[in-house]
Amino acid sequence: MRTAFYISDGTAITSEVFGHALLSLFPMEFDHQTISFVETPEKAEQAKAKINAVAKQSGEKPLVFHTFVNPQVRSIIDSCDGVIYNFLEHFVSPLENVLNAKAKPKAHRTHSIHENSYDYRIDAVNYALANDDGSNVTNYGEADIILVGVSRSGKTPTSLYLALQYGIKAANYPFTDDDMDELRLPDFLKSHKKKIFGLTIDAERLMDIRDNRRANSKYSSARQCRMELREVEKLYKKEKIPFVNSTKFSVEEITAKILAETGLRRHKY
């Protein structure tokens, strides 16, 4: 199995994002290793030694994705026994030409805290937690979006991801077994209908998720899962509520689809 290293003098998140995106194009398994905050020559030498040890043991050059700002640290990593992919170097020069300006590298800049963005995100996370699973329906006026769906269809992780990554205030409300006899939008949701977005999921996947939580119960039975999903999707179509099937998507992909569909924007960088 080929080893891929993601290294940076910061969090290495940028290296991971670019590297994973590229490697996902290849139907192969990789041993992913992240080394973050390589901020000194000493730490760079340690990282280099680790890369070289893997190269020697495996007989194959590891893939090394990095985004170093410090030229001294970068040169140490570049001298390792790996195949180097330096994302910043690849893109900076063309951008300098387009913008007619010189880049001014600064460590941690890509993931440092921007005060406005940070405040928005913390407020949004607090809002998502306070308005999770229908626990509070009195302040939906503050919501940017209200996610609805059956239990375990992905509402909570999606709400929190919208909050943490985008500063979007997302409430979520569950449709439960008690609602199914005559499923309709509650009055407190009707007045916020333009904010509502639905989630659904394949019945088999829902059964698996629920069975891990409450095995061999009515809640996780095939009949119950299929019935709830059928009724909820009928409601979405009747009320013209946009919705997405979360079965085969990560929370990042679900969020991207919601943003594309609703036109919601990230709150200030």
Residue 218 known to bind ligand: no
User: Is 64 assigned a ligand-binding role in the annotation?
Assistant: no
Q: Is residue 198 marked as binding?
A: no
**For residues 58 and 29, is the Cβ–Cβ distance under 8 A?**
no
Cα end-to-end span (Å), the chain: 39
Say whether 244 counts as a known binding-site residue. no
Q: Is residue 135 annotated as involved in ligand binding?
A: no
Query: Is 150 labelled as part of a ligand binding site?
Result: yes
Q: Is 19 labelled as part of a ligand binding site?
A: no
The two counts, helices (H) then strands (E), for the chain are 10, 8
| Euclidean distance between CA atoms 55 and 27, whole angstroms | 22
Alpha helices in 59-199 (DSSP H): 71-78, 87-99, 115-130, 155-166, 187-190
Question: Tokens 């996902």 belong to which residue?
Answer: 24
Is 234 annotated in a binding site? The answer is: no
Task: Please say whether the beta carbons of 155 and 131 come within 8 A.
Answer: no
Encoded tokens for 49: 């030694």
Residues annotated in the binding site, as ranges? 149-156
Which amino acids are annotated as binding site for ADP, given as ranges?
149-156
